[in-house]
Structure 1
């Protein structure tokens, strides 16, 4: 096992971290059931100067408080009252940066992921979207604040290197309210992967 250390997450540039998470293996293990796959799509957020970030301009709420912890813990929040979205808190304590995991190529625990998603076949609806990833992997808001160097949720480096020419950078999804910041090319995906979410950049 080659879990990413805390030092990977506590670096100051969430954009770099978001790019480097492509190709890493993302896992969950609950009640002895292991699920996971290769990260193929991410989004970066920066609390200090990013209007799309929940903690923009130092905003602190019950929900965003976890974002001010040192990097290497999870920030999981609910949208539409249905989907839990899994983010990795990055940077140092007091700086609310994060990376959203948007999609994975599923490799481990496929039957369990299919059951959680209610799918009879392995298809892109299994994990090609941030709310689908968490549902397939059994992650919910109960896992907000989970350490990524523990034994429930973690990321491993298995030597998969995504070349720069195979990484697509584009605007993030669903953040039109952020004005000019909505256009920042902070969503990263693996070129040609069928597991990238439906909000695919054109190429």
Structure 2
């Protein structure tokens, strides 16, 4: 399978979000290689999206990576304990990203189980915090180039439009009208998606 090139990420964020479904995320870590198929994502568009860290183009030390080139990792901590993995999208100066919400484990399952201290395969990557733990993703991967050799995406499987389900995003009730934007995309009937709405 071929690695995704920069041009894949440097497009309109809602398009990239849907096209990420079925792609394989690979992390070559010190304790081994893990691979997961992307089955659930959420799009965030900084200029108009009250749920986005860069809402109204807010530039901070944390959000600066979102203003850079598409195809980089934006990793942050929530609730002081869980990491979330996002992929920066669109062109420079457009602070946009796609949150990876769930993966279907493909390779390195024993490594994932050890990292997660869990046995149930369905539970290994069914949420943004879980998948980061299973894939060995921490703040060390923040700003990493996904066109590099350590963490990257492969073309994987093509998901047809009729097999993509669109819903509002999860756990963003604070975001006013943005909480209703239909910017969450999942692979229809996939058992590995997170337990959300």
Single out whichever of 27-36 and 94-103 deviates more from structure 2: 27-36
Q: How does 1:53-72 map to 2 (within 5 A)?
A: 53-72=52-71
SS of match in other structure, 1:133:
helix
Q: Shift of the alpha carbon at 1:32?
A: 6.0
Residue 7 of structure 1 aligns with which residue? 7
Distance 2:185 2:142 in 1: 23
Distance 1:7 1:165 in 2: 25
Distance 2:126 2:113 in 1: 13
Residue 126 of structure 1 aligns with which residue? 124
Q: Shift of the alpha carbon at 1:146?
A: 0.2
Distance 2:88 2:116 in 1: 26
| TM-score, with length taken from structure 1 | 0.94
| TM-score, with length taken from structure 2 | 0.97
Flag structure 2 segments of 5+ consecutive residues without an equivalent. Answer: none
C-alpha distance after superposition, 1:56-85 (max 9, x if no partner):
111111111111111010000000111110
Distance 1:77 1:14 in 2: 19
Contact kept, 8 Å, 2:38 with 2:102, in 1: the verdict is: yes
SS of match in other structure, 2:162:
helix
Flag structure 1 segments of 5+ consecutive residues without an equivalent. Answer: none
Q: Shift of the alpha carbon at 1:162?
A: 1.1
Equivalent residues, number: 197
SS of match in other structure, 1:173:
coil
Q: Shift of the alpha carbon at 1:123?
A: 2.7
Q: How does 1:148-167 map to 2 (within 5 A)?
A: 148-158=146-156, 160-167=157-164
SS of match in other structure, 1:43:
strand
Contact kept, 8 Å, 2:105 with 2:121, in 1: the verdict is: no
The CA RMSD measured in Å over matched residues stands at: 1.0
Residue 173 of structure 2 aligns with which residue? 176
Residue 106 of structure 1 aligns with which residue? 105
Q: Shift of the alpha carbon at 1:103?
A: 0.4
